Amino acid sequence: MDSSFVVVEKDLTMTDAAAASAAAATASSKAKAAEWDLTASISPHLDLHMMFPLLEYVDSLITADLVPYTHSDVAASRLALLRPTHMVDYAMDIYRELSGADAEIPKEMEAQKEEVFKKLEELRTGCVKFDELCRDDAERTKLIAAGQWNVQSLSSNPNL
């Protein structure tokens, strides 16, 4: 038995009234989200590093078209927040995101990166003996057993 189906096509386009209603609902949602957006109010009171998750969230709201910001606004804010930190590579990535992948990195960022690596090397050099002690299981166990594995005892040890 041959069965055939009849496909009935419906016009799925919105009527002008429905389109206007949908646009009004979207505008209303966006206006409500913008009205309740506390980003500018709370950001001055947050630790600098807590701003990055907040900006990620704002980015997701931009994708959903719920806030009046743009992705470049958020990227520029991230870049401004990164300047005083040691997260130079991340700042360079954000700079390229804003300026284009082929953009030349500013000399000040390159200099900041060199300073960060120089400071990191100084810190590593200054902690070599402590690092070796931490890796020496026998010595560490001996100090723990003697009750000397604490800041006060280790600080008074001239060999560190």
Ramachandran class of 106: left when φ > 0, alpha when ψ lies in -120 to 50, beta otherwise: beta
**Helix H or strand E encompassing 78:** helix 71-82
User: What sign does the CA torsion over 11, 16, 17, 18 have?
Assistant: positive
Tokens linked to 145: 């057993």
pLDDT tens figures, 14-43: 445 544 454 555 556 666 666 777 888 888
Q: Is 149 exposed, middle or buried (0-12, 13-18, 19+ CB in 10 A)?
A: middle
Amino acid 121: pLDDT: 96
Q: Among candidates 51, 126, 141, 43, which has minimal Cα distance to 87?
A: 51
Amino acid 29: pLDDT: 64
Residues of the chain with pLDDT under 50: 1-15, 18-20, 22
Contact 160, 154 (CB under 8 A): yes
